[in-house]
Structure 1
Amino acid sequence: MHTENIIQAGNTSNPKKALIMIHGRGGSARDIMSLAQYLPVSDYLLLGPEATNNTWYPNSFIAPVASNQPYLDSAIDLVGKAVEQAESLGITKENIYFLGFSQGACLTLEYLARNANKYGGAAAFTGGLIGDQVYTENYNGQFDGTPIFIGTSDPDFHVPVERVQESTTVLKEMGAEVVEKIYPNMGHTISQDEINEVNHLIFK
């Protein structure tokens, strides 16, 4: 279970937009939040939920869901608390954005699919929907054109390309405008091209 720990940075005084940044396995909120310097988000409130022991759930994201509980449910709840923090400041869902890398990208997409709404947008760097299969019965709502970018390497040791493609299909069916980019042999990282893509598509 995760202790409620959400770091705030950026525009904490009078924000109109918020970016929730979700770190990967072994990372930290401050790690992922350092990406903000490469994004045009200087006027955003930055919110960085941090996983207890730096891991959102213990096993692979394509392991049976039960094997990642109760940590997965707790992680999804913590992302929800970050959304609530933004809303408590008067920031509407249409002005709430999400970004995640690796395990954090998987958590980002899973949270969004379970809580679909008209958000500002989302960037998922190397991730897909969580489970040994995609459990669409867990997903609710409509994205109403929310832009979502998903980038990944082919191959990627942790994230099968097929799950990325399946996730794109599900999110599109829920009304998201998804841009999926698969990079040959990119490795498990975030590329400059991905940064350029999200700056053009989402943080514009």
Structure 2
Amino acid sequence: MKKSILLTKPIAVFVATFGITVVFILLSPPNRSSPKPDSMARSFILWLHGLGDSGPANEPIKTLFTSPEFKRTTWSFPSAPFNPVTCNNGPTMTSWFDIYEIPVTADSPKDENGILKAVQNVHAMIDKELAAGTNPSNIFVCGFSQGGALTLASVLLYPRTLGGGAIFSGWVPFNYSIIEHITPEAKKTPIFWSHGIADRTVLFEAGQAGPPFLEKLGISCEFKAYPGLAHSINNEELHHLESWIKTRLRSSS
């Protein structure tokens, strides 16, 4: 019984810390950048939440992106299906795939079958946006924690080059056996990775193992470490994400 209590505690961290993030976003001052001509093409940002969270709870994130470049951006905040989760003694909760242990380390066991099934659903969302006329270079997949791990898998296994993938407090959710499924086009998708050094839910070592993994595949990755940051997202990270995406958006021309 005691073990069950210890295992459920990290799950609360996933949700509670993100609630704090949303409050910070709502209190942050608006960006007063100057207007830009209506030359920006349609863009799409897909945000994947963490374990036990929901898509709607993360929607305040988009209020931070006030630059004119995002006037034609469509946001999507899907919710994961309800699944049993091993690391929390198996109760059903929103989860993209199974997690076997918390804290997550660089060597934690991986639910590769589950991640591949979740990737198919993400790819269907991307395909739908492409069918709506969005340039793949203007499609960005972002995610926190479990959603960050799914983000990495989704952009690496998508057969085309996307605008980018942004991982916050995530980890590599598969082994090197996945390499043969990564196309040359997918390797051109830029990756941004952000992780708090004080993270005790997904250990910093798990995030730090990401860039070397990607480098062996010939994939570029910008990695930023945040001293003192636990398992959450702060405004500095999201402001950096806004700038990172903004510099990669393509105009309608």
Please give the TM-score of this superposition, normalised by the length of structure 2: 0.65
Give the Cα separation in 2 of the matches to 1:25 and 1:159: 12
User: In the alignment, is residue 137 of structure 1 matched against residue 179 of structure 2?
Assistant: yes
Greater C-alpha radius of gyration? 2
What are the Cα deviations for residues 131-185 of structure 1, in whole angstroms up to 9, with x where unaligned?
A: 4x55443541234653321111113223233332332123344454321111122
For residue 121 of structure 1, what is the aligned residue in structure 2? Answer: 164
Q: Percent identity?
A: 23
1:32 correspondence with 2:58:
yes
Q: Deviations over 1:73-95 (max 9, x none)?
A: 22111111111111110212211
For residues 209 and 178 of structure 2, the distance between their equivalents in structure 1, rounded to whole angstroms, comes to 11
Whether 1:52 and 2:81 are equivalent positions in the alignment is: yes
Which structure dedicates a bigger proportion of its chain to strand?
1
Structure 2 contact 115–173 (Cα < 8 Å) conserved? no
Residues 112-121 or 50-59, more deviating: 112-121
Q: Aligned equivalents of 2:200 and 2:181: distance in 1? A: 27
**1:174-203 CA distance string (max 9 Å, x none):** 454321111122011111221122122223
Contact persistence 1:49–1:79 (CA under 8 A):
no
Q: Does 1:43 align with 2:72?
A: yes
- Unpaired runs of 5+ in structure 2? 1-40, 83-93, 248-253
Give the number of aligned pairs.
187
C-alpha displacement of 1:70: 4.7
Match of 2:202 in 1: 159
Distance 1:16-1:173 versus aligned 2 partners, 3 A rule: farther
In 2, the alpha carbon distance for the partners of 1:134 and 1:191 equals 31
> Structure 1 residue 81 and structure 2 residue 124: aligned?
yes
Q: CA RMSD in A?
A: 2.4
- CA-CA distance at 1:113 after TM superposition: 2.0
Comparing both structures, which one devotes a greater share of its residues to helix? 2
Contact 1:49 1:82 survives alignment (8 Å): no
Unaligned runs of 5+ in 1: 1-14
Partner of 1:3: none
From the superposition, tell whether residues 175 and 117 of structure 1 become closer, same or farther in structure 2 (CA, over 3 Å): farther
Normalising by structure 1, what TM-score? Answer: 0.79
**Change in 2 beyond 3 A, CA 1:34/1:42:** farther
